[in-house]
């Protein structure tokens, strides 16, 4: 496997001396980690995880450091970011599929959140988040998708294009990197039973029970995440270029709606509602403030996308 990867990167144009060694160690360590009896060999098992993680870091460092020259027939547009754009959007779309099918119930139960800094989990999170961040940032930075058209109409010269693009990409990347586990929040609610909340009336001192049913809402959010992401990605790649600018603008609007709501609005809106129902506004103010902050950022992303699309449509009309 390592030799085949070595030949592939040689054809592309990599300097594969260090990369070949890193991939060799990576393949050996991953194979060793897959063996079931290694759990009883704790020192060797921990050492393998450390070497595997270091090898992955070296591999990604060399990939991002090198200049990649790929024939346009190998990728969609001939740009190296298309690789990460494809895998990033694909992984982001597959996550809710797993949530709906409830395959990862054993992996995302609340008791497993106690040990989030497991070395193997961190290495997997680094790989997945790298693809997702670069993929979605490449999607936002796509040449045919408008971010902000500052010179088309005088009314829309409020936000400079580069500045607003940097703000949006930074918010999206920071959200995925630091709060990736919280993006699985709707999956936790998906398999959880209805929660009963006991409250006491202040006037009669009589307790009453309120029942919350988050699985339906969580399933709706997961399905909408699949719908928005696949629609925005598949339609934009399936439509032959050159397409009409108005059609590209409409697809950009779908993409902004999907990215903003799926990552920055839906999970935190669910957590905001459940936290308020369970603890009230004053019990966990930092959670309420964080959720409201990210919901506002998500709405800002969608507002910037709508602004860009409107500017493109008005520019086409002129």
191-203 confidence digits (pLDDT tens): 555 555 555 555 5
Residue 209 — φ and ψ, nearest 5°? -110, 130
CA pair distance 90, 278, nearest whole angstrom: 35
Question: Under DSSP, is residue 71 helix (H, G, I), strand (E, B) or coil?
Answer: coil
End-to-end CA distance of the chain: 56
Domain ranges of the chain: 1-69, 79-317
Task: Give the residue-averaged pLDDT of 55-82.
Answer: 53
d(CA 151, CA 157): 7
Give CA separation, 311 vs 3, 55, 167, 253, 304, in Å: 51, 46, 19, 12, 11
Tokens standing for 239?
């439509």
What's the whole-number mean pLDDT along residues 147-159?
36
Q: How many residues does the chain have?
A: 318
Is pLDDT above 70 for 312? no
> Which of 92, 89, 97 lies closest to 222 in space, CA to CA?
97
Does the pLDDT value for residue 10 go beyond 70? Answer: no
Dig out the tokens for 44 from the structure: 């060797």
Whole-number average pLDDT of the chain: 58
**Tell me, what's the pLDDT at 71?**
45
SS3 289: helix
| E strand map for the chain | 195-200, 207-212
CB 272 within 8 A of CB 295: yes
The structure tokens listed for 83 are: 């690789």
DSSP code, position 112: G
Residue 242: asked if its preceding bond is cis (omega within 30°), the reply is yes
Q: What is the pTM of this model?
A: 0.42
Check residue 143 and give its pLDDT: 43
Q: What tens digit of pLDDT does each residue of 134-143 get?
A: 666 655 555 4
- Residue 197, token pair as written in the block: 């909340």
pLDDT given at position 265: 72
pLDDT at 17: 57
Structure tokens at 122: 């961190």
Q: Is the pLDDT of residue 242 over 60?
A: no
């Amino acid at each position: 496997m390592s030799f085949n990867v070595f030949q592939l990167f040689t054809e592309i144009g990599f300097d594969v001396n260090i990369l070949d060694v890193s991939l060799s160690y990576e393949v050996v360590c991953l194979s060793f980690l897959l063996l079931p009896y290694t759990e009883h060999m704790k020192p060797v098992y921990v050492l393998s995880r450390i070497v595997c993680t270091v090898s992955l870091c070296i591999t990604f460092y060399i990939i991002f450091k090198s200049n990649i020259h790929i024939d346009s027939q190998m990728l969609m547009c001939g740009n190296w970011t298309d690789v990460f754009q494809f895998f990033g959007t694909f992984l982001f779309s597959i996550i809710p599929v797993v949530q709906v099918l409830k395959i990862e119930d054993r992996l995302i139960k609340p008791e497993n959140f106690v040990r989030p800094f497991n070395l193997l989990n961190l290495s997997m999170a680094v790989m997945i988040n790298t693809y997702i961040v670069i993929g979605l940032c490449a999607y936002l930075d796509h040449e045919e998708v408008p971010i902000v058209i500052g010179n088309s109409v005088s009314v829309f010269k409020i936000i400079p294009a580069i500045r607003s693009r940097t703000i949006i990409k930074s918010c999206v990347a920071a959200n995925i990197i630091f709060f990736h586990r919280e993006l699985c929040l709707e999956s936790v609610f998906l398999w959880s039973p209805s929660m009963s909340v006991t409250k006491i009336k202040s006037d009669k001192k009589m307790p009453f029970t309120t029942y919350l049913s988050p699985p339906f809402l969580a399933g709706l959010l997961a399905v909408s995440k699949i719908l928005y992401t696949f629609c925005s990605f598949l339609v934009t790649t399936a439509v032959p270029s050159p397409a009409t600018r108005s059609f590209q603008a409409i697809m950009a609007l779908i993409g902004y709606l999907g990215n903003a709501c799926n990552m920055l609005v839906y999970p935190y809106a669910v957590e905001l509602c459940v936290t308020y129902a369970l603890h009230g506004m004053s019990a966990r103010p930092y959670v309420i403030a964080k959720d409201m902050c990210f919901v506002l950022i998500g709405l800002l992303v969608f507002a910037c996308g709508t602004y860009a699309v409107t500017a493109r449509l008005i520019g086409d009309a002129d």
